Amino acid sequence: MAFISVSCLIGQQHVITEFDHQEARYRVLSRLQTNEGGGNVYTVEFNDKTCTCGKWQMLRFPCSHAIAVCRQRGVSPNTTVHQVYTTAVYQAQYNGHFYPLRHPDYWTDPGWKIRADPSRLTTKRGRRRTHRIHNEMDVRHPDEPVVRRCSICRQAGHNMNTCRNSQP
């Protein structure tokens, strides 16, 4: 597993302190990074397969902190991977037989048909409305006059049908 081998290299740079040998609880100090990050403290509960970073619980793969604890305990990190992600389970999933469907001519008639509900059909004519959310700039107050301008001469008071500039 390439994931675990890369994490083993990262896990070698953590500092581990044992809290409780009976409960297999460890305090792991992460490595310092060049960007002044790191140096965080995590608690790994080895028997419960949990870490305070949350990656071990979420991904079901051991995080670098758990791998550092595995190294300290002398346990292979491959044994801490959830059983769903093992090679045996992967092979068992594809071990079965796949039976293709027969030709539709050989299918038996179920005795019923699927019918659409015409009341649920929504085909509307015209341009679709936008779903834009309006803000205060889009609101027109009722006392505000509407000024319509001619599209030819841009003067108010008439439209393009009654414009003097459009007639020959």
pLDDT tens digits for range 108-127:
988 999 988 888 877 777 88
Given a cut of 80, whether residue 91 has pLDDT beyond it is: yes
* pLDDT confidence of residue 43: 92
Residue 87 belongs to what H/E stretch? helix 87-93
Residue pLDDT, tens place only, 17-38: 877 778 889 999 887 776 777 7
Greatest mean pLDDT range, 2-11, 46-55, 79-88: 46-55
The model's confidence at residue 1, banded by pLDDT at 50, 70 and 90, is very low
Phi/psi of residue 50, each to 5°?
-130, 150
- pLDDT > 90 fraction of the chain, expressed in percent and rounded: 12
Side-chain half-sphere CA neighbours of 42 within 13 A: 28
* pLDDT confidence of residue 145: 79
Residue 74 lies in a domain: yes
- Residue 83 tokens read as 């059983």
- pLDDT > 70 fraction of the chain, expressed in percent and rounded: 89
Residue 11 lies in a domain: yes
* pLDDT confidence of residue 135: 85
* pLDDT confidence of residue 94: 85
Residue 158 lies in a domain: no
Residue 50 lies in a domain: yes
Residue 35 lies in a domain: yes
Residue 27 lies in a domain: yes
* pLDDT confidence of residue 6: 43
The model's confidence at residue 168, banded by pLDDT at 50, 70 and 90, is low
What one-character DSSP code corresponds to residue 41?
E
Query: For the chain, how many structural domains are there in total?
Result: 1
Between CA 101 and CA 110 the distance in angstroms is 16
Q: Across the strands, what pairs with 44?
A: 26, 51
Domain of 23 in residue numbering reads as 2-89
Helix (H, G, I), strand (E, B) or coil at 139: coil
∠ CA 113-119-125, rounded to 5°: 120
**Of 157 and 18, which is predicted with more confidence?**
157
Side-chain half-sphere CA neighbours of 63 within 13 A: 20
Residue 9 belongs to what H/E stretch? helix 2-11
Between CA 90 and CA 95 the distance in angstroms is 9
Residue 125 lies in a domain: no
Residue 159 lies in a domain: no
Between CA 126 and CA 159 the distance in angstroms is 25
What one-character DSSP code corresponds to residue 127?
P
